[in-house]
Amino acid sequence: MSAISVGQAVILGVVEGVTEFLPVSSTGHLKITEGLMGIPVNDASVVAFTAVIQVGAIGAVLVYFFRDIVRFATAWGRGIAHRELRQEHDYRFAWWVIWATVPIVVVGLAAKPLIESSLASLWVVAGSLIGGSAVMWVAEQMARFKRGEQDVTFKDAMWVGSSQILALLFPGFSRSGATISTALIRDLDRVAATRLSFFLGLPALTGAGLYELKDALGAGVSAAPLAVGTVVSFVVAYASIAWLLKFVAKHSFNVFVVYRIVVGLLLFGLLTTNVLTA
């Protein structure tokens, strides 16, 4: 029997789509939502389900940034074929995305049992929401916004890509929160930091979703909830991406810092009073 119904899949798809790219932690919000609906957050099929529906959100990135992705892929292919074109920024950027994905893949495979067991606790989520907020606040104070997307370097990509490990190990920290904060500390402006976060998340999240697909089906999640959750997350995520890019062009991330602290404290309260179980 599937641990998740179609109706629950719709709700979780909406939560995934709204929160995947906002710096508020999609994993944390999914686990809170699952807990409130009585879904066992540590169940193997549930963990796999949440990873698979991320593919819907990633699909939204592919569609939204289709022209950029084609540009990078074309430059990469041309650079492979013609040595004289390998100094182009787009060619180098494509390689940087690949290399920046290696750290999270290595850690993800090595720490998979831990990630799916003790680190999946809602206590960890609550602490990570608040801890991640502190990192985001510090990043805003340190940011100088001196560089744009064309100024991104290999070192920037590796630092930002590696920061995804924080969200992998500590659900609630937020992958986008970690990557955007790191990019701000590296003095990128908010729009460049946000776009870099999107591009660096593509390989890791797509790979995780496809890797978990066989486990989700094998663990008892039926195809219908998976399909519904994925489609819903795609539609909602597309709207979320468009909104976020417009928002960061004129506003700081401090509103997300406050929101995360409130949610983290609320979650601590729900766990302490046994309204939710970890």
Average pLDDT value for residue range 40-67: 85
Query: What's the pLDDT score for residue 178?
Result: 94
Average pLDDT, the chain: 89
Domain ranges of the chain: 6-272
- Return d(Cα 206, Cα 212) in angstroms, integer: 10
- pLDDT one-digit tens code per residue, 107-148: 988 887 777 677 778 888 899 999 999 999 999 999 999 999
- Return d(Cα 181, Cα 183) in angstroms, integer: 5
- pLDDT one-digit tens code per residue, 89-107: 999 999 999 999 999 989 9
List helix spans (H) across the chain: 6-19, 26-36, 44-52, 54-64, 66-81, 89-110, 112-115, 122-142, 154-162, 164-169, 175-185, 190-218, 223-248, 254-272
- pLDDT one-digit tens code per residue, 150-207: 899 999 999 999 999 998 888 889 899 999 999 999 999 999 999 999 999 888 878 7
